């Protein structure tokens, strides 16, 4: 009964910004671990960022300093603020949630639920 709905994707020029949202129902996000993964055709999902139930945050090296993950407990929503976007950031971005994170945060199979994704395209 957990549902995750992403929004905020779109087409931006290199150097631009987008804010992705993940609105959850059926689970309280401040009790869970939430990640953002991205995927392009023919490639495995790539962990972009994660915020744990305790508020710790983690980032893929290539997005450090450019992306920020945050959580609004009142809205039960997690955000990914993306700045200084590059063409290589183009992908479908999905929100993923785990009750417990037993291994590394970038292990996609450790997450229990995922959304349908939102397309981010960075192109000039």
- Could you read off the pLDDT tens digit of each residue along the chain, which spans 124 residues? 899 999 999 999 999 999 999 999 999 999 999 999 999 999 999 999 999 999 999 999 999 999 999 999 999 999 999 999 999 999 999 999 999 988 899 999 999 999 999 999 999 9
113-115-118 Cα angle (round to 5): 155
């Amino acid at each position: 009964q957990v549902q995750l709905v992403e929004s905020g994707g779109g087409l931006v020029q290199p150097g631009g910004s987008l804010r992705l949202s993940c609105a959850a129902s059926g689970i309280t996000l401040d009790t869970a671990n939430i990640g953002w993964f991205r995927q392009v055709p023919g490639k495995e999902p790539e962990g972009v960022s994660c915020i744990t139930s305790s508020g710790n945050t983690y980032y893929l090296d290539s997005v450090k300093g450019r992306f920020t993950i945050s959580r609004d407990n009142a809205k039960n929503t997690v955000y990914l603020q993306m700045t200084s976007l590059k063409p290589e950031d183009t992908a479908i971005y999905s929100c993923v949630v785990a009750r417990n994170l037993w291994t590394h945060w970038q292990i996609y199979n450790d997450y229990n639920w995922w959304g349908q994704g939102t397309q981010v395209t960075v192109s000039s």
